[in-house]
Amino acid sequence: MGCEEDGTGLTIWPRLGFMGRDCKGRGMKRSSRGQVDPFIVMDVMEEARGLEAAGRSIIHMEVGQPGTPAPKAARDAVARALERPLGYTVALGLPDLRRGIAGLYQRWYGVDLNPDRVVVTAGSSSAFLLAFSALFDAGDKVGLGEPGYPSYRQILRALSLQPVGIPTRVENRLQPVPSDLDGVDMQGLIVASPGNPTGTMLSHDALKALMDHAAARDISFVSDEIYHGLHYGDRAVSALEISDEAYVINSFSKYFSMTGWRLGWMVVPEDHIRTVERLAQNMFICPPHISQIAALGALDSIDELEANRAVYAENRRLMLEGLPKAGFTKIAPPDGAFYVYADVSDLTENSLDLARDILHGAGVAVTPGMDFDPVRGGQTLRFSYARATADIVEGLERLRAFMTGR
């Protein structure tokens, strides 16, 4: 059997269960910066997969993964491309794709973007690696709102950077505001709108206030916009509508339904292009060629993608109606993305245990909040509504039956 550390000298075995002793002293030395925390949602997904392999029916509300395939035009483009060699591309990505992404900014935001500033990456995770490597030196401190995407924290640690958690408040829609940053020593700031796990968004004025605060203090600003396109009222605002002095990160995973294709992009200031290009050449050589071809087809699949968004909108309506019937009444306003973040402090002091009870008792996989907020996450759960509507209806009924009988 294997031995997995959780970064505290303990092991998680099995993934969501017994906490045991670690395996120090075995094999080669491991770096301290490599001892990042587990990504709990992936552990939940693995435990759910094990139950499915044993014959259980599981409704997946744990992972932010669309239930729809890549757009047909993307799949057709790949089928045609497989008839020819697919070697390396240039490190920053296919020029046609970079131009297509620049066109997306004109279409969505009215921003005239120089395609040279677009850097195609192997998913947004690679974009974060490149961004953090280009912007920060070892030991620098980078602020991030909590609750927030857990991999920010772990990637920063793996690069010998120091994540600085910034607790956000319900009255501010669980998004940071400038007053939260006063007195916080940091060289960088990451924001996400729509956010993961909350789905809440920053208005133009709120985003500008954060960017102005960062600029006044010479803090590098990183805007995570991977859920743009997935909104259910006013659209999301891009940092590029406010200033060119930011790193903007996006992905084909969410709106474009291409999670497993591992393709993302970022937009960088013009005087950072060559720095990022050198890093990309050495760290990744290039993004996956076949995925870039698929992305070219996806960019023009507007009708299909908007039909997907209509499904998410209906799923969101069902969640806002059904979760309170299951006892989950304290939720963040889900402006975008495909998540509902619930305060379950009236139900449990340990969301990990509650998530495991729900998985085994109701056959519904949900994510405990410790992934997103290491301090307050023991009292929160995240629900994803990215799957088919029939799954959402069934999952909500299972949750209602389980929680009312609990």
In the chain, the largest separation of any two C-alpha atoms, in whole Å, equals 60
Q: How far apart are CA 120 and CA 103, in angstroms?
A: 14
In angstroms, the CA 234 to CA 227 distance is 14
Which pairing describes strands 364-365 and 59-60: parallel, antiparallel, or unpaired?
parallel
Global pTM? 0.91
DSSP per-residue string spanning 115-153: GGGEEEESHHHHHHHHHHHHH--TT-EEEEEES--HHHH
What's the pLDDT score for residue 40?
86
pLDDT at 293 over 60: yes
Distance from C-alpha of 125 to C-alpha of 122, rounded to nearest angstrom: 7
Please provide the DSSP assignment of 53-76 as one string: HTT---EE-SS---SSPSPHHHHH
pLDDT digits (tens, 9 = 90+) for 92-106: 999 999 999 999 999
Residues 6+ apart with CB under 8 A from 367: 40, 41, 44, 62, 63, 197, 355, 381, 382, 383, 384
Please give the backbone phi and psi of residue 226, each rounded to the nearest 5 degrees, phi first.
-70, -15
Pairing of strands 118-121, 10-12: unpaired
Indicate the SS3 state at residue 12: strand
- Hey, what amino acid is at 251? S
What single DSSP character describes residue 192? E
How do beta strands 247-251 and 141-146 pair? unpaired
Enumerate domains of the chain plus CATH numbers: 24-68+303-404 (3.40.640.10), 72-301 (3.40.640.10)
- The string of pLDDT tens digits covering residues 6-50 is 443 333 334 444 333 355 557 899 999 999 888 888 888 899 999
Cβ pair 210, 177 in contact under 8 A: yes
Please give the share of the chain, as a percent, with pLDDT higher than 70. Answer: 94
CA distance 389 to 64: 15
Q: Is the dihedral of CA 114, 261, 230, 149 positive or negative?
A: negative
The predicted-structure confidence for 115-147, as pLDDT tens digits, reads as follows 999 999 999 999 999 999 999 999 999 999 999
- Other residues' Cβ atoms within 10 Å of the Cβ of residue 96: 14
One-letter identity of residue 254: K
Q: How far is CA 121 from CA 40, 52, 133, in A?
A: 25, 33, 14
pLDDT attached to residue 25:
57
Q: Give the angle subtended at the CA of 366 by the CAs of 190 and 258, to the nearest 5°.
A: 60
Q: Which amino acid is at 404?
A: T
> Rounded to whole angstroms, how far apart are CA atoms 113 and 104?
9
**What's the pLDDT at 3?**
52
Quick check: 239 and 52 in contact, CB under 8 A? no
What whole-number distance in Å separates Cα of residue 4 and Cα of residue 13?
Answer: 7
Give yes or no for a contact between 384 and 196, defined as CB atoms under 8 angstroms apart. Answer: no
- Which strand (E) or helix (H) includes residue 357? helix 351-362
Does position 220 have pLDDT exceeding 50, yes or no? yes
- Amino acid letter, residue 129: L
**257's tokens:** 């339904």
* C-beta separation of 223 from 249 below 8 A: yes
Task: Name the token pair of 204.
Answer: 């133009």
Within 13 A of 197's CA, how many CA atoms are on the CB side? 27
Query: For residue range 61-90, what is the model confidence (pLDDT) as tens digits?
Result: 998 889 899 999 999 999 999 999 999 999
Tokens (6 digits) for 132: 């953090």
How does pLDDT run across 380-390, given as a tens digit for each residue? 999 999 999 99
What is the average pLDDT across 262-268? Answer: 98
For 370, the token pair is 């410790």
Query: If you count DSSP H runs as helices and E runs as strands, how many of each does the chain have, helices first?
Result: 12, 15
